[in-house]
Structure 1
Amino acid sequence: MKRKRKEQRPRIYTSKKMKSKTQTELLEEMILEILIRLPVKSILRFKSVSKAWCAMISDPLFIRTHLLHSASKSNQNPSLLISPHALDSVIKGEKWPTTFSTQIRFYQWQSASPSVAKFLLAKDFQGEFSSVCQFVHCDGLVLLPTNTKVYLFNPATRDTLTLPENNPNKIPVPPDVCLPAGLGLDPSTGRYKVVRAFYRSIDPLTDVFHMGMQVYTIGDTAASWRDTPTDPPYPVVEWTTPKSVKGQIFWVIDIYNMKLRPPHCLLRLNLEDETFGTTCLPDSLDPALDEAFMLDVMHGDICLTASSSAKPGPQPQLIWALVHEDGMSSRWEQRYSICTSQVGRPMALLTTDILMWYSRRHLYRHCLHTSELTNLVKMDDLRYQRRRAGTFESAGQNIFFFNVMSYMESLVRLTA
Structure 2
Amino acid sequence: MKSTKKTGAKRKRSARAPRRAPPQLMEEILVMEILARLPVRSLLRFRSVCKAWRAAISDPVFIRAHLRRSAAKCPQTLDDGWPAIFSNHILFYQWQLQRRGGTSPNNNQVTFLDEFCRPFNILRYLTHCDALLFALTNTGLYLFNPATRDAITLPDSHRNDLRALGRPKCYRAGLGLDPRIGRYKVVQAFYRSVVDPDTGTGTDMGMEVFTVGDGGGGWREIAGDPPYPARRVQNALAASGFMFWRLAEPLEQEPWGILDLSLDDEEFDVTGLPDDLNPEDEFFLDVLHGRDLCLTACNSSQTILNIWVLPIADEGLCTMWDWRYAIEFTAGLCHTMALPSFSSNGIILWRAETVYCYELATDEVKVVCELRDMRYQRAREWKSLFNFSTAMPFTESLVQITSKSHQGSSWNPWIKLLML
TM-score (norm 2): 0.81
> How far does residue 21 in structure 1 lie from its aligned partner after superposition?
7.0
Aligned residue for 2:61? 61
The answer to whether the Cα contact below 8 Å between 1:320 and 1:333 also exists between their aligned partners in 2 is yes
Shift of 1:144: 0.4
1:51 aligns with 2:51: yes
SS of residue matched to 2:37: coil
Take 1:44 and 1:307, find their aligned partners in 2: how far apart are those partners? 44
1:291-310, aligned counterparts within 5 Å? 291=282, 293-299=283-289, 300-308=291-299
Q: Is the 1:211–1:232 contact (alpha carbons within 8 Å) kept by the matching residues of 2?
A: yes
Paired position in structure 2 for 1:168:
159
Match of 1:30 in 2: 30
Partner of 1:318: 306
Cα RMSD between the aligned structures? 2.8
Asked if structure 2 preserves the Cα contact closer than 8 Å seen for 1:279 and 1:327, the reply is no
Q: Which residue of 1 aligns with 2:92?
A: 106
Which stretch shows the higher mean deviation, 403-412 or 22-31? 22-31
The residue aligned with 1:83 is: 81
Report the 3-state secondary structure (helix = DSSP H, G, I; strand = E; otherwise coil) of the residue aligned with 2:125: coil
Letter in 2 for 1:331: M
Moved more, 26-35 or 59-68: 26-35
SS of structure 2 residue aligned to 1:129: coil
Q: Equivalents in 2 of 1:67, 1:175: separation in Å?
A: 41
Return the offset for 1:86.
2.5
Alignment of 1:169-208 (within 5 A): 169=160, 171-172=162-163, 179-203=171-195, 208=202
SS class of match (2:356): strand
Q: C-alpha distance in 2, partners of 1:62/1:327?
A: 26
The residue aligned with 1:157 is 148
Report SS of the residue matched to 1:314.
coil
1:203 aligned counterpart, secondary structure: strand
Indicate the residue corresponding to 2:134 in structure 1: 143
Q: Structure 1 residues 45, 167: CA separation in 2 closer, same or farther (over 3 Å shift)?
A: same
Letter of the structure 2 residue corresponding to residue 315 of structure 1 = T
2:338 pairs with one of 325, 344, 348: 348
Q: How many Å apart are 1:140 and its aligned residue? A: 0.4
Within 2, Cα distance between the matches of 1:275 and 1:368?
40
The equivalent position to 1:385 in structure 2, one of 377, 380, 389, is 377
- Decide whether the 8 Å contact of 2:143 with 2:153 is kept in 1: yes
* Comparing 46-55 and 155-164, the one that deviates more: 155-164
Q: What runs of 5+ residues in structure 2 fail to find an aligned partner?
A: 1-14, 99-105, 404-420
Structure 1: distance between partners of 2:208 and 2:383: 40
Task: Indicate how the Cα distance of structure 1 residues 374 and 196 shifts in structure 2: closer, same or farther if over 3 A, else same.
Answer: same
Question: How many residues were matched structurally?
Answer: 374
Q: 1:336 aligns to what? A: 325
Cα distance, 1:286 vs structure 2? 4.2
Question: Distance in 1 between the 2:16 and 2:123 partners?
Answer: 68
Q: Is the 8 A contact 2:94 2:110 kept in 1?
A: yes
Distance 1:159 1:63, change over 3 A: same
Q: Does the 8 Å contact 2:303/2:328 carry over to 1?
A: yes
Is 21-30 or 78-87 further displaced after alignment? 21-30
The farther-off stretch of 340-349 and 197-206 is 197-206
Q: What is the deviation of 1:221?
A: 1.5
TM-superposed CA distance for 1:26, in Å, is 1.8
CA separation in 2, counterparts of 1:109 and 1:191? 30
Q: Is the 8 A contact 1:147 1:178 kept in 2?
A: no
Quick check: 2:257–2:273 contact (8 Å CA) kept in 1? yes
Check conservation: 2:161, 2:170, Cα contact below 8 A: no
Structure 1 unaligned spans of 5+: 1-10, 89-100
Between the aligned partners of 2:166 and 2:133, the Cα distance in structure 1 is 25
- Report Cα offsets for 1:229-252 as digits up to 9, x if no partner: 111111111244321111111111
For the Cα contact (< 8 Å) 1:363–1:377, is it kept in 2?
yes
Tell me whether 342-351 or 79-88 shows the greater mean CA deviation.
342-351
Cα distance in 2 for residues equivalent to 1:66 and 1:328: 26
Q: What is the alpha-carbon distance in structure 2 between the residues aligned to residue 167 and residue 130 of structure 1?
A: 21
Q: Displacement of 1:298 after TM fit?
A: 1.4
Answer yes or no: is the 8 Å Cα contact 1:132–1:178 preserved in 2.
no
Mapped to 2, the partners of 1:381 and 1:321 lie a distance apart of 32
Aligned residues of 1:63 and 1:411 also touching (Cα < 8 A): yes
Aligned AA for 1:241? N
Structure 1's 176 and 40: CA in aligned 2 closer, same or farther, altered over 3 A? farther
Tell me if structure 2 keeps the 8 A contact 1:199–1:210. Answer: yes
Cα contact 1:169–1:200 (8 A) shared by 2: no
Q: Secondary structure at the match of 1:35?
A: helix
Say if 1:204 and 1:124 are closer, same or farther in 2 by CA, change over 3 A.
closer
Q: Which residue of 2 aligns with 1:413?
A: 400
Range moving further from structure 2, 179-188 or 367-376: 367-376
Letter in 2 for 1:409: E
Instruction: Give 2:406's aligned residue.
Output: none
- 1:211 maps to a residue whose letter is M
Distance (whole Å) between structure 1 residues aligned to residue 136 and residue 317 of structure 2: 32
- Spell out, residue by residue over 1:253-312, the C-alpha distance to the aligned partner (whole angstroms, 9 max, x if none): 1241x23x111121111101211122111112244x222x2211113311111223xx4x
CA-to-partner distance for each residue in 1:17-59, whole Å, 9 max, x for gaps? xx77714532541343111101000000000000000000000
Change (3 A) 1:35 1:204: closer
Contact 1:305-1:317 within 8 A present in 2 as well: yes
Asked if residue 216 in structure 1 is aligned to residue 204 in structure 2, the reply is no
Residue identity matched to 1:203 = V
What letter is aligned with 1:320? W
Q: Percent identity?
A: 41
Counterpart contact for 2:160–2:169, Cα < 8 Å: no
Corresponding residue for residue 130 of structure 1: 121
Distance 1:382 1:353, change over 3 A: closer
The answer to whether the aligner puts 1:241 opposite 2:235 as a matched pair is yes
* Aligned-partner Cα distance in 2 for 1:217–1:230: 17
Distance in 2 between residues matched to 1:81 and 1:328, nearest whole Å: 28
Check the 8 A contact 1:303/1:321 in 2, yes or no.
yes
Q: Could you list the per-position Cα deviations for residues 312-332 of structure 1 after superposition, in whole angstroms to 9, with x for gaps in the alignment? A: x42312111013677796100
